[in-house]
Each structure stands twice: as structure tokens, then as C-alpha cells.
């Protein structure tokens, strides 16, 4: 067995290196740093930016707004003047900036127009009365209905940070900053490999590979499902050798337990270098993370929720970095008693009537068991558990009504 | 002016038909029904299903699991037998179902293997002791470590409903149900049209069009940004005529107010049929919804948050139907006083330390004003306000600590 040279491997206990989640995160973060240092960067236009990952901070090239603008159709005035005011020429959105308001004067400004120099408020058209070409209106506080230049952001300000993924809303912000292209990491090519005779011969449906591919896609990767390796050592070695040459990284699914036909484990141990095998998380504890041919290989457990959890906690962190999930504190809807100690349990929940309803129990959309002990192995075998709104992490038993911190998916 | 024949138009008041949100939803739902009735349906493979919208319910073709399966590596036993037990042949995942367990016997079963007939529990390998080819272990409750056939879902059960959009997780579920293709609505071709001299000549950055396109893309549409119409009536008419012939639907941005150069409004009123113009929502109240050449046209206000709100509340509903957003009740972090009555205010928030922090105020990532009155016009002009975690809807002033229902984005 070759130990990982890349990171701090934890020595195996009973053939399995089971690390706590904090240690797993540390290792993943180191792997990530190395991986992204070597990942090519390319300049892409904003048109192709959706779902791409920034390789550098985005600094605004302009102030926004560039000049004071009116946010109403109305009349630009100076609050130090008194009505009635004589009218000067109108100003529309798109007119040049730098126009001036005379003392004792008012100018019609359209929404989005630059407010003339000397004006410090806009009287809404609904509040304006024009008589004999003179404007009367109501008294206004300074800066009413004006957005000041640079109030949204200023030239040189950092708007988005390296490693963030471009979302529909951030596309809008990017355009507002005056930049026309961004530096993005090359799309990561990922080979996704299923394993197991029961998948190969169709006895069990391959729930995981398409889910894994879809998740990778939403994280800006280019996944490809290579196929299913049957329970055969030679084939396992040959496929792993090939894909670790052809792709930037590899995700395998299944065959990571201590069963008699879990060939992924022996293949990696013999030909690769283990970073860790097993983490103190349920569901999904047999997760195996390694390098093979110097490429990162994530070997997920085969139960759907275990695979999903490892994707969410570990692979997502590897690709996206320590990305903030929106968290909310909610009372849990049931007592929960965990079977064994020493694990962080990931409990998937639906949010209903302001409560976190654990999947698997009565009253949730997936009622697999009605006892009080949390049957993590049963729930992790259920594809239907993937409909969760979020999850919380817990180590100790919980009473109904106790608050938990739900990470929203 | 031609009134809409399709729906129940509300008569204009002062040239603008301002409808409450409930009425707006009703009208959108009717438009939607008509639109989707006419939208072609196609059969697509699960490989192409991500982000597509289902045109029919998905019914499971199989039970899941198909047979009782073991969720551990261990020994299938009958809880009515007593240790020690004689060993029969091993069973692996992928082996044929229908094997049998003899009385007083045990069989090794791998994770994922079908449990033999006659067995009602699996003894974990860690709890098993083999001496002289006989198995000893601990006493088990019936059905320990077994997922019963059909416990996840059954043949003929409805798994996903018409109109839902396929997400990474649901891809997994779809594969589990044994269906190989789905009926999906044809991708909706949407023309996105910007307006305004200030956009055309580059004085103001076009924040909205790319954001609108990206949102439509995540909702499974095929958007195309046609370009920018300057403030010119003839060009406005000619572009609207053309795109309503070439596309399934149209989204225009800007030019929907009561300003002197808002040519979208007059073009639609003269050549199309208005469904409603204006809804009692801030930001974004001048939203104009219409038909032109019998195609739905959504004319958004030009301020980014107004445009975003109309996309989120109205266009999303038109495309996706009444889709559930995850909601959480949170205390608001500041007193909020609204400027004018008679509107539902959409207040964008960040979620921090278990509180809903309204954007625009001190302490939020966007500090545009520090007064207590909610400056919806200012906030809606700010592209940076698009970084929100969610929003709540409120009609009356709020005190710090009062609970609001946040819709998570």
C-alpha cells in the first residue's frame, strides 16, 4: 500500500482510516489548493460565464451609477430654492452627463437620466404642478429620488471573489461593473464510473451516476458517465488506469465497503495513494478519497443518500471551496435517537410549518420506519430521500422542538 | 387600444391598470394554461432531462427495492432460529433473486444483495463470529438491516408531477423508477429585448438582459438576447412585430413607466392587447403583461431589482407554474417603515445569525441608506441588491424582531 505523499494521511485502523469531518475538510482543502494551482485558466466572455468558476477577483472598472441619476420621472430641483421654478430643457436617460441646473430653475428628468449639476432632489411628476411654464410642488429632503454616483459600488471595488460560481443574478452584477470578460478556471473534466454486478446486469437501477453527473454539471464541471465496472478486479484496474489518464478527476460509485467483492478499495490501495478511507459521517462513512496516476479520485458509497452526502460535503467542497450554504435554525418535529455514538449524523429534512421534519419518519414524504431510532442505513438506501429541502448535522439524541441548524439545499 | 380577449382585463385607472398580486397571479395562471396547451411535447431520454419541464406525471415502472435487500455486509438469518447456524452459499449484489434460506441456516449477504426467502434479518459482519463453519452472533429484531421490497416506492406510484422541473436529485429518482424517457415540454424560445438610449449608447450598463437570460436558462427556456431598441417609436414597433413572430414569447426590459419616452407602452397598447399594466408590488410596479401577435409579452421595468422581482413573481410563475419556494420564518433585524400604503413590498434580505437582514440598511452587504423608511426605489436601482438570500412580502410597517416569512432563492 502506498500512502498519500500529497497530504497528511491518517494511519489506518483495522484497515480503514476513519477521519472526523474536520480532518477530512482539511485534507480536501489541501487537495483543492494543489488541484486549482495546476488547473488552466481561460479568459471568457460574460456570455459564456453562467456556472463558471472565477479564477480571480472581479474588480469594478466603473462606479455605479456613474453619475447621480434620477430614479423617478419628475423634475430636478435644488432643495435650497423655493417654488415656483422656471423650466429649463428636459433631460432623458441616455443624454450626456454634465448638464447644469440654473439657480431658481427646474429641469424635467426621466427615470435613469443623469441629474444636472446643482440639483439635489427630484420632484415626482405626480407631485408637480405646472402653471404658466412655472413649476410648483412639495418640499423635499435633499437627495430624494436620486441615487448618488458610486453609491452602489465604486471603481476599483471588489465585486466578486475568486472561486465563486457565476449565477444568474451575478451575471447581472458582472455586466454592471463594466468588465467584458472574466478569468475562469477551465471546465473540470470528470469521469463518473459506476461499479457492481447488480448495476451492470440491471438488477438494481443506477440511481447514482446520473445524479452525480447532474450535480457536477451544476457546479460547472464537464462530467461523463463512463459506464459500469462489474465485480472483477482486472476490469476495475484497467478502467481506473484509463480514466485517471484521460480525465482531470474521477468519481467512482460503490464498492468501497469491507465486503468480499469491493474491488475499488484494493485497486486504489495497490496502485494509488489513499488520502483517507472512511470519515465519521453517517450516511456514507466508507467514502474513499485518493490519488491515482496523480489524479484525485473520489470513491463514493453506493447507497444513494450516502453518495449524495459525500458529493455535498466533500466533492462540492473540493470543487467549489468552502461555499456558504444558507442556514436556518428550526425546531425538529420528532425525537431522534441515534443508533451508535462517534458519528456526525447528516439528517435530511423537509421544512414544513416552520419545522424540520426528518425524512424517514411518519409525517414526512418518505415514511420508511416509525420507530424512534434513526435508521440511517435504511434512509441512505432510499432514492426518494433525495427530495430533501436541507439537512442538519447532529451527534447527540434530540428532543422534539429542540432547535437544529438546517443547511438549505 | 385593443383589450385582451384572452383573459379578464382590469379597466385602466389613469391610463394604468394596477392589479393586486392575487389578481395578477390569476391572470398569469390563465395565460399559462393556454400557452402550455399549445406548446408541443416531446419524448426525451433521461440523459437530456436536466432542467426540462415534465409534460406528464412520472409513474414508477417498478417497485424499489424490487426485492428485500441487505443494507449491510453480513449474514442473512431468521430471527426465529437460534445460534449457532450452519453456513450456506454466499449471496452477492447482482445475484439472481429467489434464493432460499434453510431452517437453522445462515447465508453471507453483501450490501445490496437480495435477502433469501426465509430470512428476516441481517447480522452485521462486525457482530459475527465463525467457529467450525458455524455462525454465532447477537440477537436481532425482525427486519434489522433489511430494506423491504417496495418500501421506497411501489409499481404504479406517482413519483414526480407534471410541470416539475428536473433537478440533479430528481434525475437520480427518475433512474430509480425504471423509466427510460420522459415527456417534456419543448424548450420555450424567448426573445429578450432591452430598450433605452442610455443602454444603446453605453451610458448605462445593461445589467438586466444577461440576468434575465440566465434566469430563463435555469428555468429550462432557450433565451436569446436580440439587442437594444433606442428610444424611437418606429424601431420599437418594428422589433416587437418581428420578435413576436419569430419566438414563443418575449421579455422586454425598460420603457414601461409613464415617462415621455416610454415607447414600449404605446406600442403594446396600439398593436397588442394588454392583460394588465402595473401591479401593486414594489419594487417593479409598472410591469406590463400583454399579448402581441398572440404571443405573451412580459415588459419588465428597467431598474434591476424591479426587473428581478417581476421575473421571480410573474415570469417564473408563467413558466414553472405555482412552484413552492422553501419558506422560513425569521425575525427581521431592523424596524422597517414603508413610504406609501396600498402596496405589497418585496423586501430582499440576507440571512445572518438567524435574522432576516434587509438589504439597503446598515449591517447588510448593501448599505444604500441609513434612514428608517424603506427606500424601495433606491434599492431597486442597485444591481448589488441582487445578492439576496431571499425575500419577504410585507404591507405594514415592521418592528425589529417581528417574524417575517422569507422565501428562499
Quote the pLDDT of residue A83. Answer: 96
Rg (C-alpha) for chain B, rounded Å, is 29
Locate all alpha helices (DSSP H) within B108-258, ordered by sequence. 168-176, 197-200, 208-218, 233-246
Q: Are residues A173 and A227 in the same domain?
A: no
Q: Are residues A219 and A316 in the same domain?
A: yes
Average pLDDT over residues A209-234: 92
Confidence of residue B7 (pLDDT cuts 50, 70, 90): very low
Quote the pLDDT of residue A7. Answer: 37
The three-point CA angle B113-B115-B119 to 5° equals 155
For residue A404, the chain B residue with the least C-alpha distance is B354
Grid coordinates representing B216 are 430563463
Q: Are residues A32 and A83 in the same domain?
A: no
Residue B122 · residue B148 · CB < 8 Å: no
* Residue B128 φ then ψ, to 5°: -100, 140
Higher pLDDT, A68 or A4: A68
Least confident of A168-172, A400-404, B84-88, B110-114: A168-172
Q: Are residues A173 and A53 in the same domain?
A: yes
Residue at B153 is within a domain: no
Q: How far apart are CA A290 and CA A27, in angstroms?
A: 11
Confidence of residue A47 (pLDDT cuts 50, 70, 90): confident
Q: Are residues A180 and A207 in the same domain?
A: no
Q: Are residues A211 and A266 in the same domain?
A: yes
Binary contact (A50, B176; C-beta < 8 A):
no
Q: Is the pLDDT of residue A2 over 60?
A: no
Which residues in chain B have their CB less than 8 angstroms from residue A177's CB?
Answer: 205
Closest CA to B297 of B356, B230, B241: B241
Domain boundary (B288, B320, B352) is at B320
For residue B360, the chain A residue with the least C-alpha distance is A152
Q: Are residues A171 and A226 in the same domain?
A: no
Tens digit of pLDDT for each residue in B164-183? 888 877 888 888 888 889 99
Grid coordinates representing A275 are 488520502
Tens digit of pLDDT for each residue in B355-407? 999 887 777 777 776 555 677 777 777 777 777 888 999 999 999 999 999 98
Q: How far apart are CA B159 and CA B182, in angstroms?
A: 12
CATH of the domain at A21: 3.40.980.10
Q: Is the pLDDT of residue A321 over 70?
A: yes
Q: Are residues B204 and B268 in the same domain?
A: yes
Residue at B235 is within a domain: yes
Q: Give B111: exposed, middle or buried? Use CB within 10 Å, 0-12, 13-18, 19+.
A: buried
Which residues have CB under 8 Å from B64's CB, separation 6+?
A205, A382, A383, A384, B150, B152, B153, B176, B177
**Chain position carrying cell 394588465:** B276
Q: Are residues B215 and B303 in the same domain?
A: yes
SS3 B248: coil
Distances from the Cα of B359 to the Cα of B347, B351, B373, angstroms: 8, 10, 13
Distances from the Cα of B394 to the Cα of B9, B345, B347, B405, angstroms: 26, 5, 8, 9
CATH of the domain at A382: 2.40.340.10
Query: Angle formed by the axes of helices B208-218 and A168-176, to 10°?
Result: 170
Residue A314 belongs to domain spanning: 2-40+186-320
DSSP state string for B191-209: EEEEE-HHHHTTSS---HH
B407 lies within 8 A of chain A by CB: no
Which residues in chain A have their CB less than 8 angstroms from residue B145's CB?
Answer: 377
Which residues in chain B have their CB less than 8 angstroms from residue A113's CB?
Answer: 198
Which of A13, A177, A210, A366 is the mutation pick for testing B, counting most B CBs within 10 A?
Answer: A210
Query: Angle formed by the axes of helices A233-246 and A263-271, to 10°?
Result: 60
Tens digit of pLDDT for each residue in B101-148? 999 999 999 988 999 999 999 999 999 999 999 999 999 989 888 988
Arithmetic mean of pLDDT over chain A? 87
Tens digit of pLDDT for each residue in B253-267? 998 876 677 899 999
How many domains would you assign to chain A? 4
A384 lies within 8 A of chain B by CB: yes
Q: Are residues A239 and A297 in the same domain?
A: yes
Higher pLDDT, B298 or B361: B298
Q: Are residues A313 and A366 in the same domain?
A: no
The region, left, alpha or beta by phi > 0 then psi within -120 to 50, assigned to residue B354 is left
Residue at B155 is within a domain: no
DSSP B311: I
Confidence of residue A203 (pLDDT cuts 50, 70, 90): confident
DSSP A286: T
> What H or E segment, with its residue span, contains residue A108?
strand A105-109
Q: Is the pLDDT of residue B210 over 50?
A: yes
Tens digit of pLDDT for each residue in B9-18? 444 444 556 8
Half-sphere exposure of A19 (CA within 13 A, CB side): 20
> What count of other Cβ atoms lies within 10 Å of the Cβ of residue B167?
20
Q: How far apart are CA A223 and CA A210, in angstroms?
A: 10
Closest CA to A178 of A335, A37, A59, A353: A59
* Residue A382 φ then ψ, to 5°: -105, 115
Domain boundary (A285, A303, A320) is at A320
Residue at B296 is within a domain: yes
For residue A380, the chain B residue with the least C-alpha distance is B71
Higher pLDDT, A63 or A76: A76
Residue A251 · residue A290 · CB < 8 Å: no
Tens digit of pLDDT for each residue in A137-185? 999 989 888 988 888 888 998 888 888 888 877 888 888 888 889 999 9
Quote the pLDDT of residue B128. Answer: 95
Could you tell me if the ipTM is greater than 0.90?
A: no
Domain boundary (A320, A353, A382) is at A320
Which residues in chain B have their CB less than 8 angstroms from residue A72's CB?
Answer: 377
Average pLDDT over residues B201-205: 83
B389 lies within 8 A of chain A by CB: yes
SS3 B49: coil
Residue A92 · residue A98 · CB < 8 Å: no
Residue at B154 is within a domain: no
Residue at B196 is within a domain: yes
Q: Are residues A111 and A167 in the same domain?
A: no
Residue A46 · residue A174 · CB < 8 Å: yes
Euclidean distance between the first and the last CA atom of chain A, given in angstroms as a whole number: 38
For residue B147, the chain A residue with the least C-alpha distance is A378
Amino acid at each position: 500500500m502506498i500512502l498519500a505523499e500529497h497530504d497528511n494521511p491518517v494511519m489506518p485502523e483495522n484497515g480503514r482510516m476513519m477521519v472526523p469531518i474536520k480532518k477530512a475538510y482539511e485534507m480536501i482543502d489541501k487537495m483543492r489548493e494543489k488541484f486549482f494551482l495546476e488547473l488552466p485558466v481561460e479568459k471568457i466572455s460574460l456570455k459564456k460565464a453562467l456556472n463558471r468558476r472565477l479564477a480571480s477577483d472581479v474588480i469594478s472598472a466603473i462606479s455605479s451609477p456613474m453619475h447621480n441619476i434620477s430614479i423617478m420621472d419628475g423634475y430636478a430641483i435644488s432643495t435650497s430654492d423655493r417654488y415656483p421654478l422656471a423650466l429649463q430643457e428636459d433631460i432623458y436617460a441616455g443624454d450626456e452627463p454634465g448638464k447644469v441646473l440654473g439657480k431658481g430653475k427646474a429641469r424635467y428628468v426621466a427615470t435613469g437620466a443623469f441629474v444636472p449639476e446643482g440639483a439635489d432632489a427630484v420632484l415626482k411628476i405626480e407631485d408637480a404642478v405646472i402653471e404658466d411654464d412655472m413649476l410648483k410642488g412639495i418640499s423635499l429632503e435633499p437627495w430624494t429620488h436620486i441615487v448618488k454616483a458610486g453609491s452602489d459600488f465604486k471603481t476599483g471595488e471588489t465585486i466578486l471573489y475568486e472561486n465563486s460560481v457565476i449565477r444568474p443574478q451575478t451575471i447581472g452584477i458582472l455586466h454592471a461593473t463594466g468588465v467584458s470578460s472574466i478569468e475562469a478556471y477551465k471546465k473540470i473534466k470528470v469521469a463518473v464510473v459506476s461499479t457492481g454486478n447488480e448495476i451492470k446486469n440491471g438488477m438494481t437501477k443506477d440511481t447514482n451516476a446520473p445524479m452525480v453527473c447532474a450535480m457536477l454539471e451544476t457546479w460547472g464541471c464537464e462530467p461523463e458517465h463512463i459506464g459500469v465496472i462489474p465485480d472483477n478486479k482486472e476490469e476495475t484496474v484497467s478502467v481506473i488506469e484509463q480514466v485517471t489518464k484521460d480525465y482531470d478527476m474521477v468519481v467512482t460509485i460503490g464498492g468501497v465497503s469491507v465486503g468480499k467483492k469491493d474491488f475499488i478499495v484494493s485497486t486504489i490501495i495497490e496502485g494509488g495513494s489513499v488520502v483517507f478511507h472512511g470519515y465519521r459521517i453517517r450516511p456514507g462513512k466508507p467514502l474513499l478519497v485518493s490519488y491515482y496516476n496523480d489524479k484525485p479520485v473520489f470513491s463514493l458509497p453506493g447507497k444513494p443518500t450516502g453518495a449524495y452526502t459525500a458529493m455535498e460535503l466533500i466533492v462540492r467542497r473540493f470543487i467549489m471551496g468552502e461555499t456558504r450554504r444558507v442556514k436556518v435554525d428550526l425546531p425538529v418535529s420528532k425525537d431522534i435517537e441515534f443508533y451508535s455514538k462517534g458519528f456526525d449524523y447528516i439528517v435530511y429534512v423537509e421544512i414544513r410549518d416552520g419545522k424540520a421534519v426528518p425524512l424517514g419518519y411518519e409525517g414526512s414524504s418518505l415514511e420508511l420506519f416509525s420507530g424512534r431510532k434513526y435508521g440511517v442505513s435504511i434512509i441512505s438506501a432510499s432514492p426518494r430521500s433525495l427530495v430533501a429541502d436541507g439537512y442538519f448535522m447532529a451527534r447527540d439524541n434530540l428532543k422534539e422542538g429542540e432547535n437544529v441548524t438546517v443547511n438549505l439545499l
